Amino acid sequence: MRIAFAAIEDPIKQFEVKSLYPIKNVFGYDLSFTNASAYMVLGIILVIALFGYAASRPSLVPTRLQSIGELGYEFVANMIRSVAGEDGLRFFPFVFTLFFFILAANMVGMVPYAFTTTSHIIVTAAMALFVIGLVILYGFYKNGLKFFKLFAPSGAPWPIYFILIPIEVISFLARPLTLSLRLFANMLAGHIMIKLFAGFAVALASAGIVWIPFALVSFIMGIALNALEFLVAFLQAYVFAILTCVYLNDALHPAH
């Protein structure tokens, strides 16, 4: 048994960051180009290649790839329009970049042995904090102090405000936390699960003939989880982008 289980690869190992090209001591910080950085670069190259190709073909009747690019454009534009209204479109490039950056990272991460950049809390937290920072800055820039109306929805009888305002403030403060944790935890847990089931399948299969049926079950579970993870990869990118739209809508129209 000991030997058999030694075949299981550590499911945590896939999240390790390794330096590929050390850039040490830039103002005291280690800014090495790591495998995580490499996969970020790969992700943006894929996004740029797809949309660059789609944009460079101005044919009236689109080719398949061009059509995919244009669908992506319309998808994000409609998402912003439906959540934040027509004036939310000023954030279109930002939301578009955010959505496709995360989607590319999640999808690249689905390739076996690839690294998932969004499975690191520092990355998702940075993006979430940037979004919330943008919401706060733009909210005050556009509405001034009226932005505080966000915490006091109109139409409630006044005693309610004593409970309502603290709740609203807490929920606002929780936003960066939930936004970053949701994406991070989903990607992390999903990849651990896939790795575990796949690893178990191999380990059980090599443990002896009696274990083969269990190995098969584990293998099928791994495949099912893989399919589920593709869905999660898309869904989490979508959730991140649409919540960004919701928060930007608060900055655009705080009195709701």
Partner 1 sequence: MPLLMLMADVSADYGEAVKSDVFPPFDPTYYPSQLFWLAITFGALYFILSRMILPKLGANLERRSDAVADDLDEAARLNEQAEDAQKTLEKNLAEARAAARAKSLLAEQTVSEEIAIETQKVDRQIDEKLKTAETRITVVRSEAMDHVQSIATDTTKNIIAKLGFEVSEKEAVKAVEGAMDD
Cα–Cα dist 92/75, whole Å = 11
Cα–Cα dist 121/220, whole Å = 30
Inter-residue contact 92 to 76 (CB < 8 Å): yes
CB closer to partner 1 out of 43 and 222: 43
Q: How far is CA 250 from CA 69, 75, 132, 134, 139, in A?
A: 29, 21, 11, 11, 8
- The number of helices, as runs of H, and strands, as runs of E, in the chain is 7, 2
The residue within the footprint of partner 1, chosen from 15, 151, 219, 230 (CB under 8 A), is 15
The verdict on 245 binding partner 1 (CB under 8 A) reads no
The verdict on 113 binding partner 1 (CB under 8 A) reads no
Q: How far is the CB of 132 from partner 1 (least distance, A)?
A: 16
Chain centroid offset of residue 163 CA = 33
Question: Alpha-carbon dihedral of residues 45, 102, 119, 16, nearest 10 degrees?
Answer: 10
User: Which range in 13-21, 158-166, 227-235, 241-249 contacts partner 1 by CB under 8 A?
Assistant: 13-21
* Maximum CA extent, the chain: 72
The verdict on 92 binding partner 1 (CB under 8 A) reads yes
User: Which range in 120-128, 150-158, 212-220, 225-233 contacts partner 1 by CB under 8 A?
Assistant: 120-128
The verdict on 169 binding partner 1 (CB under 8 A) reads no
User: Which range in 56-64, 140-148, 155-163, 229-237 contacts partner 1 by CB under 8 A?
Assistant: 56-64
Cα–Cα dist 143/236, whole Å = 30
Chain centroid offset of residue 135 CA = 18
Inter-residue contact 46 to 108 (CB < 8 Å): yes
The verdict on 17 binding partner 1 (CB under 8 A) reads yes
User: Which range in 27-35, 150-158, 164-172, 220-228 contacts partner 1 by CB under 8 A?
Assistant: 27-35
User: Which range in 51-59, 142-150, 158-166, 247-255 contacts partner 1 by CB under 8 A?
Assistant: 51-59
| Site residues for partner 1 per CB under 8 A | 2, 5-6, 8-13, 15-17, 19, 23, 29-34, 36-37, 40-41, 43-44, 47-48, 51-52, 54-56, 58, 60, 62, 69-70, 73-74, 92-94, 96-97, 100-101, 117, 119-123, 126-127, 184, 188, 196
